[in-house]
Chains A and B, each alone.
Chain A
């Protein structure tokens, strides 16, 4: 029997953390898709900017908060002493660096109204890749 048996009290924060992370992955990818699409569909740049802004406000930000609150909640339950293993650290590095990156993306979307600068899809693609590294680390738990 290899399956890990978790205390029931860990399930809700874990569910919220995973749900937030999966939606964050998808909604961040929308920003990348819309940003790169402006390179080939310049006539629809205003529309794609609107898609990016709405997805950022109503998708990315709530999903990030859900993911981060769930992470902190379950971290407090699983490692109350604060001595987290390395795979937890990877998750926190990605989420904290991701917050900084999302702030930059938000500023870029706000200052260049109705246009998506190339930096937006590049930065969001990097964050999507980083999220992949985080979920591989957190699900595989290497070293544990």
Chain B
């Protein structure tokens, strides 16, 4: 197989881990939003850590091998779709990171509640449904889908 084929394999593997990791996080986050007992929220947020690892590994693979592919395939780093993809990938990373930090604080709060009686809490429910956190996390996923569309259509290439 050629260098181009190998690079594409690693780039696509990164995309699978990145978007697949986002799907894992979304499924577990949606489940957590429906729970009332803090210990259940703690468990589901703990499992989201697996998704975070997949997202970090996938994002790194997709970004590094994507840049290498641009050179190998003869595209230009100044091409509009390449610049847009890089900017959107960084934006998705920043949004996901900010949303993740807010979720970490929610998980810590849920852990404290679980340790002190595990009673349902209105504040925990409010934090689980915090519109800013949801907008950041799910917005990050939406941006990744747009990046995938850019990778397929390559407008202007």
Contact = CB atoms under 8 A, between A and B. Distances in A.
Interface size range on B against A: 35 or more
B19 A23 contact: yes
A88 B50 CA distance: 31
B40 A30 contact: no
B113 interface: no
B73 A1 contact: yes
B35 interface: yes
B13 A136 contact: yes
Contacts of B28: 30, 51
A59 interface: yes
Contact of B16 (A21, A44, A55): A21
Interface in A7-45: 11, 14-15, 18-19, 21-23, 25-27, 29-30, 33-34, 37, 41, 44
B149 interface: yes
Contacts of B73: 1-3
Nearest to A13: B152
Contacts of A54: 27, 30-31
Contacts, number: 108
B148 A18 contact: yes
Interface in A78-104: none
B68 interface: no
Q: Provide the main secondary structure of the chain B interface.
A: helix
A40 to B, nearest CB: 10
B116 interface: no
A114 to B, nearest CB: 14
Interface of A: 1-3, 11, 14-15, 18-19, 21-23, 25-27, 29-30, 33-34, 37, 41, 44, 47, 50-51, 54-55, 59, 63, 131-132, 135-136, 139-142
Interface of B: 1-2, 4-6, 8-9, 11-13, 15-16, 19-24, 27-28, 30-31, 35, 39-40, 43-44, 47, 50-51, 54, 72-75, 145, 148-149, 152-153, 157
Given A26-B21, A59-B27, A136-B12, 11 more contacts: A3-B75, A15-B148, A19-B145, A22-B15, A22-B20, A22-B148, A54-B30, A132-B16, A135-B16, A139-B9, A140-B8
